[in-house]
Amino acid sequence: MVVSCTSGPARAGTTAVPRLAGCALFPATNAWRQDVSRLPVSRYSAAWVRSIGATAHLHPDFGSNPSYGMPVKTVPTTQRRVPIRFTDYGDESDPGPYPIPLTARVEAGGDRHVLVASANCHLYELYGARRTATGWSAASGAVFDLRTNRLRPEGWTSADAAGLPILPGLVRLDEVRAGHIDHALRFTVNRTQRGWIRPATHQAGSTTSTSVPPMGARFRLRASFSLRGYHGAALVILRALKKYGMFVADNGSSWFLSGTSSPWNDTDLDQLKRVPGSAFEAVDTGAIRR
């Protein structure tokens, strides 16, 4: 992974500004940077936790194996733009060209994401990406301006099922090494309802039942959950989950937390597997839209 996304040192009593490619990770008022530790619990919380699995456990969907996690590429403002041909959701995708090098790594597995952070303060993300002779083909793609709070149009997907950007929600090694993560994270659940909560804008659900979480539902680690005995990367991640929580971003294995493809310490990350689903609660961040 080639990435420069440091948050910078945090002073006592302050929150560092998370950064990507030298740019602030959205304005301070952005939902990704919202402290949700004191928000009210959603009336659906207990049902949603049961749906995902109260006795299942948190699982890092990244590790020392380079085929795990999502590769991230940073590029300068001078990066050459190449054409993008969309194969599935072109009507909901931002048209190219994108400044994505043909050497950018593609995520292993079926989703085949390509994630690029540019020094022009934009994110360029592809889903179902494949190289072509002159650029890329992809099922869908989205561009996010890090300088604004602008969301995708209502009902539109992105490179993620929820219509959210992917890169801001990843656990990143540079932030863990800095000792703090100052934004929400991204995770997947096995089953979602047909709806979304902003900042999500899209659904990929299989039911209308309100007992199942929609895309964009936000969960936090309970304040009462003891962090005694946790250390290293796991402790940094769990502290972030108490303060900023994590968004339901896609259908997949339940409680699977997303991170970058990096030289992680698996023994350190394995501590997360001790955290049960019952340690989480959904917070009330707005109405479910359909």
Report the C-alpha gap between 266 and 287 in whole angstroms: 38
pLDDT at site 66: 87
User: Within a 10 A sphere around the Cβ of 93, how many other Cβ atoms?
Assistant: 23
pLDDT at site 8: 46
**Could you tell me the pTM of the whole model?**
0.94
Please answer whether residues 127 and 160 qualify as being in contact, where contact means their C-beta atoms are separated by less than 8 angstroms: yes
Query: For 101-113, what is the mean pLDDT?
Result: 97
pLDDT at site 2: 40
pLDDT at site 16: 81
Q: Quick one: which H or E segment has residue 239?
A: helix 232-243
In this predicted structure, the answer to whether residue 4 has a pLDDT above a threshold of 70 is no
3-state secondary structure of 2: strand
Give the pLDDT band (50/70/90) at residue 217. very high
Query: For 229-233, what is the mean pLDDT?
Result: 98
